[in-house]
Amino acid sequence: MDTHQTNLKLRSGNFSIEKKQYENVGLTERFVSVFAGAVLLSKGLKNPFKPKFLYGAYLTYRGFTGRCLVYEQLDIDSTKPQAVNIRGEFVIDRPAAEVYSYWRNLNNLPASLNHLFDVKMLSENLSHWKSRVLGSLLPLDWQAEIVKDEPGHLIGWKSTGSVLQHVGKVEFDETPDGTGTLLKIVLSYHPPAGGVGIGLARLFNPYFEYLLTREIKTFKHEIESPARY
């Protein structure tokens, strides 16, 4: 009898499952989604089964909930800043001190890196750059400030005034035999436009890595050329 009453008490208990809404869309993107969704909804009211209305409904849902189903599939979370890093290591058949000195004189770089339009020294540590890394139709220009300089070993910089803010460093280490240089490059940037930018960065990152490799090969050819000596 006691057991039966106990079972009744257990069965009559109140249970609840806590539901947590996973947000993967940043605040700015949510505002944009709500605005764009509202525009599309207003234009598609007469035909609620047309793509325009459906896209508007989805963007509105995306903005209000902060959840993007596409981002979930791509494992993107634009609520958290994500840095994209591009790295490369190259062997230059010249002494480390010489490679450092050649790189440190930024006026040498346009002739060595094909996708640079121009570099102008504004002061000892500040320079203005123009680049066609995204093609001639969309040239980029920015200022770069050298924030760390270890003669013969390392140059570190950060950019200002560019859509694509980035920081970077170049290390010049001697090869084990002491006759060459192990050149290490790291570029780090935060993609603009939230999750869309993160997705595009993932898409274009292999291209940027390829481009970096090609540019350093040109630099290697230039500094190793017998015509310089």
HEC profile for the chain? CHHHHHHHHHHCCCCCCCCCCCCCCCHHHHHHHHHHHHHHHHHHCCCCCCHHHHHHHHHHHHHHHCCCHHHHHHCCCCCCCCCEEEEEEEEECCCHHHHHHHHHCHHHHHHHCCCEEEEEECCCCEEEEEECCCCCCCCEEEEEEEEEEECCCEEEEEEECCCCCEEEEEEEEECCCCCCEEEEEEEEECCCCHHHHHHHHHHHHHHHHHHHHHHHHHHHHHHHCHHHC
Question: Do 129 and 36 lie in a common domain?
Answer: no
Shared domain check, 53 and 123: no
- Domain annotation covers residue 5: no
Same structural domain, 91 and 68 = no
Q: What is the CATH number of the domain that holds 130?
A: 3.30.530.20
Instruction: Identify whether residues 203 and 100 lie together within a single domain.
Output: yes
Assigned domain for 106 exists:
yes
Residue 79 lies in a domain: no
Per-residue confidence band for 229, with pLDDT thresholds at 50, 70 and 90 = low
Domain that holds residue 116: 84-228
In this structure, the answer to whether residues 119 and 195 fall within a common structural domain is yes
- Give the span between the Cα atoms of 9 and 58, in whole angstroms: 45
Q: How many domains does the chain have?
A: 2
Residue 32 domain-assigned?
Answer: yes
User: Same domain, yes or no, for 94 and 68?
Assistant: no
The reported pLDDT for the residue numbered 201 is: 60
Residues 95-141 pLDDT 10s: 999 999 999 988 888 766 766 667 888 888 998 887 766 555 556 78
Are 107 and 66 within one domain? no
Mark whether 184 and 110 lie in a shared domain. Answer: yes
- pLDDT at residue 184 above 70? yes
Q: What is the pLDDT of residue 12?
A: 46
Q: What is the tens place of the pLDDT at every residue in 5-15?
A: 544 444 544 44
